[in-house]
C-alpha cells in the first residue's frame, strides 16, 4: 500500500483526466474541419451551445459570444454544416467540447428536409389553420394523458394536476414515445383516448430529446390522428426550443409536459375564488330583486287602496267642485274683459266724433276765407312780386353759368397754350421743314431745309454727297 492508501498503478479520476488533457494538448486537434448536422441548439449569455452529429456519433459544440457576434448568419437546427474549431477537454468534468470558430453551410440534413416537406404538405391542406383549433374546456370532467408509463413526464403531469386541481381524474393511455413501434402505438393511443367515457380533453406528451428521438411526433400518420381527434388535443413534446409537426396540428401547444398540465387543469384556488364571486353576485342580485319586488308590492297596495269606490267618488266630487270654481272665475274674467272692451270702444267713438267736428270746423273756416278773398288788383300785385323773384333767380343762375363756362374756357386755353409746339422754341429748340412736311429723322432730310427758330427762319443746304444723291433719287 502507498502512503495515500491506494494500490500501486491505481490513479485518481483527476490524474486520469490530466493525462487525457495532456494527450489532447499535445495532439494536432487545434484546427479541425468537421462535417455534421446541427441539433439541440440553445443560447445562454450570448454563447451558443449545440450538438454536431452524423449517422454514427455526436459531439458537443460551443460558439463563444465573441465568435457568434462576428458571424453574418447563425446556423439553425437541421443545418448540414462544416465547422472549423479545436477540441477542448475539461479535466474537472471529464467532458470534451468542440470550440467552433467558423461555420460553412453544406445543406440541410435529410431529417430536416423531410420535416419541412411534411410540414408544408399538411399546411397546404389547412391542418394548421386557426379556424380548425377548438377551445379547451374550462372545467374538464376527465383528462386523458397519452404518453409513456415510465419516465418523468407522467410524474410531472400528475404533480401539476395534484397541485392545481386533484378532483379531476386522469386516465393514462400508455404508449411508447420512441422507437420502431412508436408511430402505430401513438395513432392507436390517440384514437383510444378520444373514446374513453367522460374524457373531454387529451394531453399528448413526451420529454426532451434529439430530432431523431422526437421523430415519431413528426410522422404524418400521428399528425393526422391528432387532427381527426373529436376532442381537443394539447401537446407537450420536448422542451421550449423543440417543435414537432403535432404541435402545429394540435389545438394548443405547450412548451413542456408540465406546461401542458397547467393549461389543461384549472387552478382550484382560482375556481373557488370565481365560484365565491359568482355566489356573491347571485346573492346581491337576489337581494336587489327581492327589494324591488317589495317596493312594487307596496306601490301596488297603495294604488289598490286608492281605487276604492268611496275614494273614487270623493275624487269625482272634488273634481266637480274645482271645475265649478274654475267656470265661475272664467265668467267673472269674461265680464270684466267685456266691460273693459266697451269702455275702450266708447273712448274711441268720442275721439272720432271730436276729430270729425274739428275737420268740419276747419273746412268751414277755409270756405269762409275763400269767400272773403281780396280783389283782383291784390292778386296782380302778388303775381308781380312772384315774377320779380323769378327774374332775380334767373339772372343769378345765368351769371353763375356764364362764370362757370368762362372758367372752363380759360382752363382749356391754358392747356392749349401749354401744348403749343412754339413754346419749345423759346428754350432753344428748333424744328425742320421741307416744303409742307416736318422732317423728324436724319435719314429723311433733303438737301434744302428750313430751320424754324423763335424769332425767324433760316434756309440751309446739305452739302453731303450721299444726301445729294438721296435728294436726286427723290426727284
Backbone angles phi, psi at 168, to 5 degrees: -90, 120
Convert 291-303 to b/e letters by CB count within 10 Å (16 or more is b): eeeeeeeeeeeee
Taking the C-alpha atoms of residue 351 and residue 83, their distance in angstroms, rounded to an integer, is 129
- The answer to whether 145 touches 173, Cβ cutoff 8 Å, is yes
In order along the chain (475 residues), what is the average pLDDT of each group of 10 residues? 57 79 73 86 90 86 89 79 86 84 71 85 92 92 92 90 90 90 92 94 88 86 94 88 87 91 87 75 80 79 66 69 75 76 75 77 76 65 78 80 78 70 73 82 84 83 61 51
Cα three-residue angle 17-18-19, rounded to 5 degrees? 90
Q: Is 465 helix (H, G, I), strand (E, B) or coil?
A: helix
Residue 271's contacts (CB-CB under 8 Å, 6 or more residues apart) are: 139, 165
pLDDT of residue 6: 52
What DSSP designation does 46 have? T
Cα three-residue angle 12-13-19, rounded to 5 degrees? 95
Taking the C-alpha atoms of residue 33 and residue 98, their distance in angstroms, rounded to an integer, is 10
Cα three-residue angle 285-291-296, rounded to 5 degrees? 125
Q: Within a 13 Å sphere around the CA of 328, how many CA atoms are in the beta-carbon half?
A: 6
* Residues counted in the chain: 475
- The answer to whether 449 touches 459, Cβ cutoff 8 Å, is yes
Convert 385-408 to b/e letters by CB count within 10 Å (16 or more is b): eeeeeeeeeeeeeeeeeeeeeeee
pLDDT of residue 7: 60
At the fourth CATH level, which superfamily is domain 13-108? Nucleic acid-binding proteins (2.40.50.140)
Q: Say yes or no: domain 113-266 is CATH 3.40.430.10.
A: no
The CA–CA distances, whole Å, from 187 to 131, 230, 248, 281, 350 equal 23, 14, 16, 46, 121
What cell was used for 331? 265668467
Strand 170-174: give its sheet, edge to edge: 170-174, 142-147, 199-206, 233-237, 252-253
Taking the C-alpha atoms of residue 101 and residue 31, their distance in angstroms, rounded to an integer, is 9
Backbone angles phi, psi at 174, to 5 degrees: -75, 130
Unique residue bearing C-alpha cell 273634481: 319
Q: Which of 265, 237, 267, 269 is nearest to 250 (CA)?
A: 237
pLDDT of residue 3: 45
Q: Is 350 helix (H, G, I), strand (E, B) or coil?
A: helix
Query: Which strand (E) or helix (H) includes residue 409?
Result: helix 376-418
Q: Within a 13 Å sphere around the CA of 60, how many CA atoms are in the beta-carbon half?
A: 11
The CB density around residue 119, as the number of other CB atoms within 10 Å, is 19
Taking the C-alpha atoms of residue 277 and residue 273, their distance in angstroms, rounded to an integer, is 6
Q: Which of 186, 152, 193 is nearest to 171 (CA)?
A: 193
Cα three-residue angle 283-285-288, rounded to 5 degrees? 110
- The answer to whether 203 touches 260, Cβ cutoff 8 Å, is yes
Q: Is 473 exposed, middle or buried (0-12, 13-18, 19+ CB in 10 A)?
A: exposed
The CB density around residue 274, as the number of other CB atoms within 10 Å, is 14
The CB density around residue 246, as the number of other CB atoms within 10 Å, is 26
The CB density around residue 223, as the number of other CB atoms within 10 Å, is 25
What cell was used for 124? 397546404
In the chain, where the domains are located: 13-108, 113-266, 425-474
Q: Is 374 exposed, middle or buried (0-12, 13-18, 19+ CB in 10 A)?
A: exposed
Amino acid at each position: 500500500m502507498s502512503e495515500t492508501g491506494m494500490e500501486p498503478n491505481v490513479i485518481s479520476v483527476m490524474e486520469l483526466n490530466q493525462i487525457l488533457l495532456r494527450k489532447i494538448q499535445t495532439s494536432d486537434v487545434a484546427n479541425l474541419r468537421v462535417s455534421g448536422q446541427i441539433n439541440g441548439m440553445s443560447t445562454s449569455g450570448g454563447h451558443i451551445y449545440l450538438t454536431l452529429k452524423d449517422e454514427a456519433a455526436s459531439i458537443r459544440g460551443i460558439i463563444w459570444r465573441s465568435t457568434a457576434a462576428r458571424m453574418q448568419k447563425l446556423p439553425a437546427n437541421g443545418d448540414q454544416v462544416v465547422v472549423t474549431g479545436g477540441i477542448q477537454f475539461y479535466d474537472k468534468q471529464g467532458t470534451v467540447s468542440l470550440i467552433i470558430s467558423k461555420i460553412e453551410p453544406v445543406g440541410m440534413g435529410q431529417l430536416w428536409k423531410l420535416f419541412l416537406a411534411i410540414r408544408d404538405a399538411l399546411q397546404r391542406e389547412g391542418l394548421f389553420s386557426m379556424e380548425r383549433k377548438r377551445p379547451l374546456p374550462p372545467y374538464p370532467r376527465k383528462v386523458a394523458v397519452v404518453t409513456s408509463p415510465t419516465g418523468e413526464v407522467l410524474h410531472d403531469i400528475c404533480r401539476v394536476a395534484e397541485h392545481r386541481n386533484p378532483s379531476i381524474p386522469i386516465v393514462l393511455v400508455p404508449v411508447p414515445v420512441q422507437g420502431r413501434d412508436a408511430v402505430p402505438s401513438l395513432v392507436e393511443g390517440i384514437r383510444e383516448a378520444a373514446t374513453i367515457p367522460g374524457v373531454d380533453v387529451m394531453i399528448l406528451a413526451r420529454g426532451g430529446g434529439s430530432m431523431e428521438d422526437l421523430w415519431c411526433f413528426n410522422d404524418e400518420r400521428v399528425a393526422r390522428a391528432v387532427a381527426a381527434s373529436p376532442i381537443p388535443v394539447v401537446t407537450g413534446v420536448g422542451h421550449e426550443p423543440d417543435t414537432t409537426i403535432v404541435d402545429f396540428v394540435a389545438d394548443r401547444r405547450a412548451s413542456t409536459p408540465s406546461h401542458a398540465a397547467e393549461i389543461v387543469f384549472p387552478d382550484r384556488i382560482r375556481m373557488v375564488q370565481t365560484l365565491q364571486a359568482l355566489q356573491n353576485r347571485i346573492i346581491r342580485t337576489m337581494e336587489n330583486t327581492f327589494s324591488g319586488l317589495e317596493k312594487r308590492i307596496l306601490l301596488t297596495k297603495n294604488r289598490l287602496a286608492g281605487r276604492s269606490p268611496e275614494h273614487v267618488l270623493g275624487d269625482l266630487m272634488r273634481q266637480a267642485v274645482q271645475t265649478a270654481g274654475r267656470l265661475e272665475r272664467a265668467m267673472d274674467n269674461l265680464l270684466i274683459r267685456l266691460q273693459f272692451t266697451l269702455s275702450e270702444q266708447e273712448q274711441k267713438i268720442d275721439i272720432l266724433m271730436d276729430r270729425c267736428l274739428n275737420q268740419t270746423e276747419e273746412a268751414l273756416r277755409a270756405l269762409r276765407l275763400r269767400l272773403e278773398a281780396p280783389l283782383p288788383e291784390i292778386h296782380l300785385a302778388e303775381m308781380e312780386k312772384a315774377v320779380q323773384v323769378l327774374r332775380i333767380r334767373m339772372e343769378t343762375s345765368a351769371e353763375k353759368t356764364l362764370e362757370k363756362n368762362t372758367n372752363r374756357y380759360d382752363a382749356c386755353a391754358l392747356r392749349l397754350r401749354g401744348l403749343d409746339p412754339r413754346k419749345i422754341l423759346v428754350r432753344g429748340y428748333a424744328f425742320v421743314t421741307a416744303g409742307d412736311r416736318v422732317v423728324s429723322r436724319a435719314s429723311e432730310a433733303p438737301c434744302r431745309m428750313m430751320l424754324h427758330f423763335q424769332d425767324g427762319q433760316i434756309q440751309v443746304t446739305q452739302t453731303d454727297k450721299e444726301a445729294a444723291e438721296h435728294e436726286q433719287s427723290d426727284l
